[in-house]
Chain A
Amino acid sequence: MPAEPNGARPEAAPRRQRWTPGRVALWAGVAVVGAVAWGMIALGRGEEISASWLIFAALASYAIGYRFYARFIQYKVLMTDDTRATPAERVDNGADYHPTDRRVLFGHHFAAVAGAGPLVGPVLAAQMGFLPGTIWIIVGVIFAGAVQDMVVLFFSTRRGGRSLGQMAREEIGPVGGIAALIAVMAIMIILLAVLAMVVVNALAESPWGSFSLIMTIPIALFMGVYLRYLRPGRVMEASAIGVVLLLAAIAGGGWVADHAVLGEIFLFSRNELTFGLIAYGFIASVLPVWLLLAPRDYLSTFMKIGVVVLLAVSIVVASPSLRLPQFTEFAFNGQGPVFAGSLFPFVFITIACGALSGFHALVSSGTTPKLIEKESQVRVIGYGSMLTESFVAIMAMVTACVIDPGVYFAMNMPATALGDSVQSAAQAVSQLGFTVDAQTLENTARLIEEESILARTGGAPTFALGAAQIFSTLFGGQAMMAFWYHFAVMFEALFILTTVDAGTRVGRFMLQDTLGNVYKPMRDPSWRPGAWLCSALVVGAWGYFLWAGVNDPLGGINQLYPLFGIANQLLAAIALAVCTTLLIKSGRAKYAWVTLVPLAWDAVVTLTASWQKVFSDDPAIGFFAQRRQFSEALADGETGVGAIQGVDAMQKVVVNTTVDGILSVLFALLVVVILVDSVRVWIKALRAPEGSLPTTEDPYERSRLWAPSGLVATREEREYARRSAAAGAAAPVSAEAEEKG
Chain B
Amino acid sequence: MTVTGLGPALLRGLREAWQIARGIAGERAYEIYLEHHRREHPGEEPLSERVFWRRHTDRGDTDPGARCC
User: Is the C-beta of B1 less than 8 angstroms from some C-beta in chain A?
Assistant: no
Q: Once the chains are docked, how many angstroms separate the CA of A126 from the CA of B13?
A: 41
Q: Which residues of A contact B21 (CB under 8 A)?
A: 236
Interface residues in chain B, defined as those with a beta carbon under 8 Å from any beta carbon in chain A:
20-27, 29-30, 32-33, 35-37, 40, 49-50, 52-54, 56-69
CB-CB contacts below 8 Å: A187-242 with B: 191, 195, 227-228, 232-236, 239
| A470 interface hit (Cβ, 8 Å) | no
Q: Contacts of B58 on A, CB cut-off 8 Å?
A: 288-290
A104 and B24 contacting across the interface, CB-CB below 8 Å:
yes
- Within the complex, the shortest CB–CB distance from B51 to chain A, in Å, comes to 9
Mind listing 19 A-B residue pairs with CB under 8 Å?
A94-B32, A94-B35, A98-B36, A104-B24, A108-B24, A112-B65, A115-B68, A117-B68, A117-B69, A232-B49, A233-B49, A235-B26, A289-B60, A293-B60, A293-B64, A298-B25, A363-B66, A498-B67, A502-B64
Question: Which residue in chain B gives the minimum CB-CB distance to A113?
Answer: B68
The answer on a CB contact under 8 Å between A239 and B25 is: yes
Separation of A95 and B65 alpha carbons in the complex (Å)? 13
B25 touches A301 (CB 8 A): yes
Q: Is A100 an interface residue (CB 8 A)?
A: yes
Q: Complex Cα distance A366/B57, Å? A: 19
Give the CA-CA distance A357 to B25 in the complex, in Å: 25
Write out the residue numbers on chain B whose beta carbons fall within 8 Å of the beta carbon of A366.
65-66
A contact residues vs B (CB 8 Å cutoff): 92-96, 98, 100-101, 103-104, 107-108, 111-117, 191, 195, 227-228, 232-236, 239, 288-290, 293-294, 298, 301-302, 305, 352-353, 357, 359-360, 362-363, 366-367, 498-499, 502-503, 505-506, 509, 525-526, 568
Enumerate chain A residues within 8 angstroms of B68, measured Cβ to Cβ. Answer: 112-115, 117, 353, 357, 359-360, 362-363
Task: Point out the residues of chain A lying under 8 angstroms from B57, CB to CB.
Answer: 227-228, 289-290, 294
Asked if A93 and B36 sit within 8 Å, CB to CB, the answer is yes
Cα of A301 to Cα of B21 in the assembled complex, Å: 11
Contact present for A95 and B59 (CB under 8 Å): yes
Q: How far is the CA of A96 from the CA of B56 in the complex (A)?
A: 10
Q: Which residues of B contact A191 (CB under 8 A)?
A: 69
- Expressed in whole angstroms, the Cα–Cα distance for A234 and B50 within the complex equals 11
How far is it, in angstroms, between the C-alpha of A78 and the C-alpha of B20 when the chains are bound? 28
Task: Establish whether residues B27 and A234, one from each chain, have CB atoms under 8 Å apart when the complex forms.
Answer: yes
Q: Given A107-B20, A114-B68, A568-B69: A298 and B62 within 8 A (CB)? A: no
Could you list 5 further interchain pairs (A-B, Cβ under 8 angstroms) beyond the known A227-B57, A293-B64? A101-B23, A289-B58, A294-B57, A353-B68, A362-B66
How many angstroms between the C-alpha atoms of A634 and B30 in the bound complex?
65
Q: How far is the CA of A499 from the CA of B35 in the complex (A)?
A: 32
With A92-B36, A94-B40 known to touch, is A367 a contact of B65 (CB < 8 Å)? Answer: yes
